[in-house]
Amino acid sequence: MLYKLVKPWLFRMDAELAHHLVVDGLGTVGGVSGATSMLSAVWGVKAPEELAVDLFGLRFAHPVGLAAGLDKNAKAVPGFSSIGLSFMEVGTVTPKGQPGNELPRLFRLPSDEALINRMGFNNEGAEAMAARLARLGRRRIPLAINIGKNKTTPNEKAAEDYRECLRRLYPYGDFFVVNISSPNTPDLRLLQHGDELRGLLDAVRDEMRRQAQRTGGTPKPILVKIAPDNSEEQLAYMAEAIRISGMSGIIATNTTIARDGLTHPNAAETGGLSGRPLTKRSTEVIRTLYKLTGGELPIIGSGGIFTAQDAYDKIRAGASLVEVYTAMIYKGPGVVGEIVRGLRELLRKDGFGRITEAVGADFR
């Protein structure tokens, strides 16, 4: 109800201005004593035990987390951790801070329940994020750090950028996500294919091993975020390369460059499309990856999740966890609780005792 009151006001603003207002506001509120308890009272989610997921050596209270892109600089981790999410991604962060692409670069498509962004990895850099996360101390939910390369770094030197992010941020993430699928950094998606992919993932795995040895711990999980705009043949190659390289899982998917079926005038803008138009395609990619890997490589489903049925479709297709992003813009924080409650009902309807039993159920 609260978000319904403020949404018209936010939607009258420039999309990026509204984005910064919400994230900065949530960051400020999260730093006030007692404020996170108030957020939890309004939007917190009490998930039943049957929705809990144990994955990557971590405990997730339920399957629904926050995708990267909303909190690029880890400014609002306590706030986002208090609105019912079971985990969250911050970033994408690059070694050096960079301004991103020229304004305007974020566009709403209300008639399509979608967003187009061409932000270009705008962020304050790994050192600034590390300093911010170091001040937080103990976190309420698992935190993933989404890492990328700087725009000016050529692909042949990209591995060093990913290594540098791990060096600076290793102590602060529960798991890490290698972003090679944004359409808004020139030639980044070329890293998804061929020798470039194998070389990059080998370098990331080596750096993770080095950091674990340096701190006396065990290597933390690494996932790879892929684009939806890949053929089945390309997905097969990526899945095999990710598996051989010892990565912990896949996030499927990032935004799309496709524009099929859109009605809003902003469809003509360049950039990555997220939201409702991506629902079906991202689920298809999850289904293909699950089949290709025999269900042995965990998948986090992302793309066009607005309802419990959207999330459940991805889980039945093979996703162990799911992420929301655009739905938070259109429906507000309450969408998390709505999805969680709906998942419990869908589980009961299908006769499953736990959400983990539904993962990949379409193949059984």
282 catalytic per annotation = no
- CB neighbour class for 225 (10 Å; exposed up to 12, middle 13-18, buried from 19): buried
Catalytic residue among 81, 82, 182, 274: 182
Contact status, residue 76 vs residue 27, Cβ threshold 8 Å: yes
Phi, psi of 107 (to 5 degrees): -135, 135
* Dist CA 295 CA 319 (whole Å): 9
Q: Is 101 helix (H, G, I), strand (E, B) or coil?
A: coil
Total Cβ atoms within 10 A of residue 96: 15
* Dist CA 325 CA 225 (whole Å): 15
Phi, psi of 314 (to 5 degrees): -70, -35
DSSP state letters, 268-304: GS-SEEEEGGGHHHHHHHHHHHHHHHTT-S-EEEESS
* Dist CA 155 CA 173 (whole Å): 25
Q: How far is CA 349 from CA 54, 114, 342, 343, 357, in A?
A: 23, 30, 11, 10, 13
Angle between helix axes 15-30 and 2-11 (nearest 10 degrees) is 140
Tokens describing residue 208: 């993770």
- CB neighbour class for 314 (10 Å; exposed up to 12, middle 13-18, buried from 19): buried
Q: Which helix H or strand E contains 242, and what residues bound it?
A: helix 232-244
Contact status, residue 331 vs residue 306, Cβ threshold 8 Å: yes
Known catalytic residues? 182
